Amino acid sequence: MVAKLFVESWAPDYGAPLEVSEERQAASKVDPGVEIAGVWEPLDGDPREADEVVFVDGVRRVDARLTLDDPIHGPLPGLCGSFGVGAVRWKVGHGAAFEELQVQRLAILGGGARPELPGMPGLDYRPEAVGSDDPAALVAFFHSRMRAAEAVLAGRLAEAGNLVFADGPINELRPQTLIGYVKTHRVNYLGPDLSPTISRLRAGQRTPIFLIEAEQYARYSWYLRLADLPHGHSWTGVVRCEAPASLGIDQASRLASCSAGILPRVASESYIDPRAPQNLVPIAALEKELRRRLGDPALLYRSLLTSVAGRQEVPA
């Protein structure tokens, strides 16, 4: 076979849907025989398992960088950031509506310092401390707080009996109807014997389920294709889903078929989304609404600058 070169469909500012490297190869044990004990073939999706589904996602933004000029330890880095999480409830084939929208704001300092910003009407930045003085560690901590809020919301909605698609991998042990939706591939979980099944997928089809046996928790996973795009490579339009292994293979199989039957119906188009088709229409709409609720970044920055400038001695 001859290798072919392609230009990715995603806008370059959003990275690439494929970011696999040797360092990111799956360290977990993978069992491909939990659903199909034999030759793998593409499986057709079936949307009949759900009349409505809920999508959960979050957005984050660094509003300003901080520096605490400690006379003993020297300058310590910090940041002020806002994040929003929420959900979209979609009645399949009918309308959709936002719910559970929330915004949180954090003021994070490195070196173990805990800032207390001056009060600003309508703005409440909760102080947080990070032991490291590496600016990247502050951003990672900020991102982890958003991901934790997403997980709490997704878990609560799934616990109430909803079928929930949560953006990104899941860390869930309980047998909930919660599906992690992974649109960027950083790990190749399938070896050369099984990966060709992905290239044979057509829109609305999925691979058989495989079990990922991680150290902390086990989860079922499968790949599905959202759309057949012209001039695409073998992984174009492919996403990976995962669900708690505690659900059992029969229920996981039904959810996998449901996901392959439903998600292609809300795949985005390239003329309206730079991450099409993986950034689903309900998720894109939720992101837009959450960013609106974060507030105008220029106004927030001016408010922070004015407020802190008026009281530069901040208790640490």
pLDDT tens series, the chain, 316 aa: 556 554 555 555 555 555 554 444 445 689 999 999 889 999 999 988 788 999 999 999 999 998 888 777 778 899 999 999 999 999 987 889 999 999 999 999 988 877 666 666 667 889 899 998 899 999 999 999 999 999 999 999 999 999 999 998 888 778 899 999 998 888 889 988 999 999 999 999 999 999 998 767 789 999 999 999 887 788 889 999 999 999 999 999 999 999 999 999 999 888 788 887 988 999 999 999 999 999 999 998 888 888 777 655 554 4
Cis preceding linkage at 196, omega within 30: no
Beta strands in the chain (DSSP E): 29-31, 43-44, 52-70, 74-91, 96-109, 125-129, 164-167, 178-182, 205-206, 210-213, 218-225, 238-244
Cβ-based neighbours of 105, under 8 Å, separated by 6 or more: 63, 80, 81, 82, 83, 123, 124, 125, 126
Please give the Cα distance from 128 to 88 (Å, whole number): 29
Please give the Cα distance from 147 to 125 (Å, whole number): 18
Q: Half-sphere exposure of residue 231, counting CA atoms within 13 Å on the CB side? A: 5
| Contact assessment for residue 85 and residue 56, using Cβ atoms and an 8 Å cutoff | yes
- Tokens representing 56? 């959960």
Residue 71, Ramachandran bin (φ over 0: left; ψ between -120 and 50: alpha; else beta)? alpha
- Tokens representing 149? 């809020």
Closest CA to 29 of 219, 207, 244: 219
pTM: predicted TM-score of the whole model, two decimal places: 0.87
Residue indicated by tokens 């003329």: 271
- Tokens representing 28? 């977990």
